[in-house]
Amino acid sequence: MNSRQQGFTFIELMISLVLGLIISAAVMQVYIMSVRTNTIQASSSNLQNTSVFGFQSLEHNIRLANLGNDTTSIKSDTGFGGIVLTRNNLPIEGDFLTRSGGGVTNTNVRSDQLTISYRNISGRTMSDCEGNNVPDGTLVVERYFMSGTVPNLHLHCDSGHFTGNNLGGLANGSARLGAGDVEFISNVDQFRILLGMQTEGNNPQITFLSPQAYVNLGAGSQDPIVAVRLGIVSRGGTAILGEEGATQFQIFGETNTLIGNAANNAQVRGVYESNVLLRNARVVHTTGRD
pLDDT digits (tens, 9 = 90+) for 71-108: 999 999 999 999 999 999 988 888 999 999 989 999 99
Average of per-residue pLDDT across 148-170? 80
Position 94 scores a pLDDT of 86
Position 277 scores a pLDDT of 95
Position 6 scores a pLDDT of 62
In a domain, 25, yes or no: no
Position 4 scores a pLDDT of 61
When pLDDT is cut at 50, 70 and 90, the band that residue 289 belongs to is very low
In a domain, 1, yes or no: no
When pLDDT is cut at 50, 70 and 90, the band that residue 269 belongs to is confident
Domains held by the chain: number: 1
In a domain, 288, yes or no: no
In a domain, 128, yes or no: yes
Position 86 scores a pLDDT of 95
Position 280 scores a pLDDT of 94
In a domain, 267, yes or no: yes
> What average pLDDT is seen over the chain?
85
> Rounded to the nearest 5°, which phi and psi values hold at 135?
-65, 155
- The rounded percent of the chain whose pLDDT value lies above 70 is 80
Position 37 scores a pLDDT of 66
When pLDDT is cut at 50, 70 and 90, the band that residue 181 belongs to is very high
Contacts of residue 207, defined as CB under 8 A and 6 or more positions apart, other chains included, come to 196, 197, 199, 223
Lowest mean pLDDT among 12-16, 119-123, 183-187, 274-278: 12-16
Model confidence at 169: pLDDT above 60: no
What DSSP string describes the chain? -PPPP----HHHHHHHHHHHHHHHHHHHHHHHHHHHHHHHHHHHHHHHHIIIIIIHHHHHHHTTTTTT-S---B-TT-TT-SB--STTT----GGGS-EEEEE--SBSS-EEEEEEEEE--SSS-EE-TTS-EE-TT-EEEEEEEEEEETTEEEEEEEEEEEBTTB-S-PPSGGGSTTS--EEEESSEEEEEEEEEEE--SSS--EEEE-HHHHHHT-GGGPPPEEEEEEEEEEEEEEEPTT-----EEEETTEEEEB-GGGGG--EEEEEEEEEEE-TT----------
Contacts of residue 136, defined as CB under 8 A and 6 or more positions apart, other chains included, come to 120, 121, 122, 123, 124, 125
> Rounded to the nearest 5°, which phi and psi values hold at 132?
-75, 150
In a domain, 8, yes or no: no
Asked whether the beta carbons of 109 and 190 are under 8 A apart, the reply is yes
In a domain, 22, yes or no: no
Model confidence at 247: pLDDT above 50: yes
Model confidence at 290: pLDDT above 50: no
Asked whether the beta carbons of 234 and 270 are under 8 A apart, the reply is yes
Lowest mean pLDDT among 30-34, 100-104, 188-192, 269-273: 30-34
In a domain, 15, yes or no: no
Position 279 scores a pLDDT of 93
For 88, the domain range is 32-277
Position 175 scores a pLDDT of 58
pLDDT digits (tens, 9 = 90+) for 210-233: 999 999 999 889 999 999 999 999
